[in-house]
Amino acid sequence: MGMTLTEKILAAHAGKESVRPGENIWVDVDVLMTHDVCGPGTIGIFKEQFGPQARVWDKDKVVIIPDHYIFTADQRAHRNVEILREFAKEQDLPYYYDVGTDRYKGVCHLALAQEGHNRPGEVLFGTDSHTCTSGAFGMFSTGIGNTDAAFILGTGKLWVKVPETMRFEFTGTFPPYIMAKDVILQVIGDIGVDGATYRTMEWAGEAIMKLSMEERMTLCNMAIEAGGKNAIIEADEVTLKYVKERTDKPFRVDRSDPDANYFFKKTYHADDLEPIVAKPHSPDNKATVGECAGVKLDRSYIGSCTGGK
């Protein structure tokens, strides 16, 4: 029996020939990302457990990006950023993107991509639920808590249960009025906010592979809104062009085997999709734009890590 893309990546990082869903393994970590919400807590646990003078396992694999508390007058929030700044200086971290400087990059999930920290075949953990965004690059990427992140800071490893994989294939071509946000809201509406709990959401099909990297990131970003452990799209020429323009670090491209075992499969025809709205108060409260025609908008927001690119 073959393996899915996620299983192959985890097996390689566990030093094993193969893994199966439900198996618990130690994996070597390629990148750890944290920000100003969870970073201070992670740093505190790291110093408590590994010692006040402890050094991170590999400073070139730690990425710190303040992006949540940066536009506020709250001094306690500012202190979070100060803790990151002090830690980055103490540890001589090269990938600290400080706010208010020319190095600042904005939303962490977009910065990871733009600065070349997303590479096919790698394992990336981040202290943010939307770390699954990076799966658009054909890598295993998922969110973790402060304790797990602190352990990675000290060891470069993490204990992981191999997830089952759900495959969503889109044939044909998306109409010009359909965006990745419509696609992910359609799927979440179909399977529910718990439909992919602790499972991989693997995206495939010619329609998916015609998407830009920015659209693929939007698609993978909201896997967590379906309960997903991670999302992933196989790397192709679009991926490789984007990555090679931003980093010269080596990486490995894997693909799911034809005989890989999937927990669930569903095929959609891309030209059948309609623009979708998630109504209050849940991402799976799906409706078409046509069904919501005439609804008065009191306020709108443009941005976020999902589509603000």
CB 120, CB 252: distance < 8 Å: yes
Query: Region 52-56: what's the mean pLDDT?
Result: 98
Domain count across the chain: 1
Work out the mean pLDDT of the chain and round it to a whole number: 97
Decide if pLDDT at 298 tops 80.
yes
Tell whether pTM > 0.75: yes
Structure-model confidence comparison of residues 78 and 116, the more confident one: 116
Residue 308 has a pLDDT of: 63
pLDDT of 86-99, one tens digit each?
Answer: 999 999 999 999 99
Structure-model confidence comparison of residues 301 and 22, the more confident one: 22
Query: Region 29-33: what's the mean pLDDT?
Result: 99
Longest distance between any two alpha carbons in the chain, whole Å: 61
* CATH value at residue 232: 3.30.499.10
CB atoms within 10 A of CB 185: 22
Residue 309 has a pLDDT of: 64
Q: State the residue range of the domain holding 158.
A: 5-307
